[in-house]
Amino acid sequence: MKPSVSVLDIGLVDYKRCWNFQEGLNKRIVNEKIKRRKSHDSPSIYRKNWIVFCEHPPVYTLGKSGSIENLKLSANQLEAQGISFYKINRGGDITHHGPDQLVMYPIFDLEQFFTDIHKYLRFLEEAVILTLQKLGITAGRYDGYTGVWIDADKPQARKICAMGIRTSRWVTMHGIALNVNNKLSYFDNIIPCGIEDKAVTSIEKELGHKVDMQMVKDTLLQNMATLFEFKFE
């Protein structure tokens, strides 16, 4: 039987509030796994998995392997511009989230899918690559880096989707940020993902016009379901 995934679209939400929400879902699955193992129950494929879609007000987040030097603004400047900042528990370096950027947080028990973090990251990338392909954008991977890139093998390589995850007992959280119609100037205040010599782009910038966010969500969700072979509610 295919794993089941519940899909939540919580709209524009404060980053810290959403982070707490993710933590709650993650711990719920982890605690159920611990309880089942202590009682010697067989693993259940019916445990719930989640995909959370959202957008965030302007915020910079710094992963546990990142450097604060990649943030170019002081605390006073952040406050003056109304931008939040958090050091968080995902992998990766610094990135930006803002309105009209599509953020997707899968809270998956990978023991229901496969226990391979490398494969999980590649599947997330592939779901985005296929979504962009549907929109007429050719994208791919950049050797040595996570995320999704355009013209990765050329001097004008530019990143369109950032990724950073965390796992606990094979249960994931955090995820991807796909630049759709968001304001790219916020990336000028950081060294995105700690990579100094590469640009950041968006679907809007590549196509020359805004695209429908719901259509992007629906396409990404379908690609996730196909790759991970789950049924969604």
Instruction: Please give, one letter per residue, the 3-state secondary structure of the chain.
Output: CCCEEEEEEEEECCHHHHHHHHHHHHHHHHHHHHHHHHCCCCCCCCCCEEEEEEECCCEEEECCCCCHHHECCCHHHHHHHCCEEEECCCCCCEEEECCCEEEEEEECEHHHCCCCHHHHHHHHHHHHHHHHHHCCCCCEEECCEEEEEECCCCCCCEEEEEEEEEEECCEEEEEEEEECCCCHHHHHHECHHHCCCCEECCHHHHHCCCCCHHHHHHHHHHHHHHHHCCEEC
What is the per-residue pLDDT across 63-107, written as a single tens digit (0 to 9) for each? Answer: 998 899 999 999 999 999 999 999 999 988 999 999 999 999 999
Query: What is the C-alpha separation between 83 and 14, in angstroms, rounded?
Result: 11
What is the per-residue pLDDT across 118-150, written as a single tens digit (0 to 9) for each? Answer: 999 999 999 999 999 999 999 999 988 899 999
CA nearest neighbour of 137 among 208, 214, 220, 206: 206
Q: 18, 54, 161, 193: which one is catalytic?
A: 193
Dihedral sign for Cα atoms in the order 198, 152, 208, 203:
negative
* Residue count (the chain): 233
pTM of whole model > 0.85? Answer: yes
Q: What is the pLDDT of residue 43?
A: 53
Domains of the chain: 4-232 (3.30.930.10)
Q: Residues 54, 105: contact at Cβ < 8 Å?
A: yes
Task: Specify whether 18 is catalytic.
Answer: no
Dihedral sign for Cα atoms in the order 190, 219, 22, 84:
positive
Sort 156 into a burial class: Cβ within 10 Å, 0-12 / 13-18 / 19+. Answer: exposed
Which residue matches tokens 């899968």? 106
What is the per-residue pLDDT across 147-180, written as a single tens digit (0 to 9) for each? Answer: 999 999 898 999 999 999 999 999 999 999 999 9
Query: What is the C-alpha separation between 224 and 112, in angstroms, rounded?
Result: 15
Q: Which band of pLDDT confidence, cut at 50, 70 and 90, is reported for residue 47?
A: low
